[in-house]
Structure formats: structure tokens, C-alpha cells
Amino acid sequence: MIEIYNDNWVISIETKAKSGITLDTNTFEVKIDDLNVVHPWEYEKSGILLEVKEYNNILFYSFTIESNHLVIITNDKFEMKEEILSFFWDVDILVIVWSKESAKIFENIEARLVVPFWEGKSIFLNTLWQHTEEVDSYKVKWEFSLDSTEFVNLK
């Protein structure tokens, strides 16, 4: 089980082992615990595997946590081509910057749980006809429906 919450514009993803992934939504800095991830590479820290891929000068983050797949997309200014689309295989949780373009990206990825972020994330949710209530945090139990996608609207 993991818990996802937003604390002063920093999205935190905490594992049951109390390891954490953070995304600063102002600077787009991603960390695993105290390890700042700023280069394309494969990382492993605190039982969390991470692959960082650079495509069109944008970094994409693919985590493996407890045999589940979490992806962070911080920029929606790219074209979905096969070379990047293959990076988004079987996504359980998608943390994605909001916009109408993001909705198109989401439709190509088909994640089981989506956590949009940014000031106007309601536009993303409304574009996809999702009217979910804001929550302080969300506990993921890794039991996803294969037929639908769940959306989390963090405060």
C-alpha cells in the first residue's frame, strides 16, 4: 500500500516501508527519499526502481514499487510517438500535469489510477468528464479495476 498526498505543491508518494517519492510541482524536481533524480538513467533506492528517460528534452519517470508501475509526466509538450509510447507500458498509477493536451496523452496510456496536478487540474478532470471531490490524501491498495480508470483530485 502507498499513500499519495499534496503538501504545499509537493506531491508525495509514501510506501509502506516509509520510503518516499516526491515531485515538486513548482520546479518539477523528482526525488526518491533524498536522491535528486535529474538525469536519464536507471536508479534503485529504498526498494524503489526508477527508470528516467529523456525524450524531446523532457524527462519521464517510470517507477516500480511493490511490483506495480507508477509514471510521472511533468510536461505535456511532446508528440506521442512509438519511441516514447513504449515507455508507458501497463501503467498502474499516472501522475500527470494538467491540460487539454494531457487528456490526449492519458487516452494513449490508459492508466488504472490518474492523479493530475497543477493549478487548473479541474480543466483536465472536466475534459475527461470526471467530477471527483478533492481529498487530502489517497491510499492505494493496488487492487485496480481492469475495466475503468479511477481519478484522484488532491487538494
The verdict on residue 19 lying in a domain is no
The whole-model pTM stands at 0.89
Domain presence at residue 101: yes
Where residue 107 sits, what CATH number does that domain have? 3.60.15.10
State the Cα–Cα distance between residues 95 and 93, nearest whole angstrom.
7
Domain that includes residue 124, residue range = 39-154
Nearest Cα residue to 16 out of 91, 67, 73: 67
Strand partners, 94: 71, 114
Per the domain annotation, does 26 fall within a domain? Answer: no
Asked if the structure places residue 7 within a domain, the reply is no
- Is 64 part of any domain? yes
Q: Is residue 10 part of a domain?
A: no
Q: What share of the chain is helix, strand, coil (3-state, %, to 5)?
A: 15, 45, 40
In tens digits, the chain (155 residues) has pLDDT values of: 899 999 988 999 999 888 899 999 999 999 999 999 999 999 999 999 999 999 999 999 999 998 899 999 999 889 888 889 888 988 999 998 877 677 788 888 889 998 988 766 766 666 666 767 888 999 998 777 777 788 888 88
Residue 83 belongs to a domain: yes
In the chain, the number of structural domains is 1
Query: 32 near 20, Cβ under 8 Å?
Result: yes
| Any domain includes 25 | no
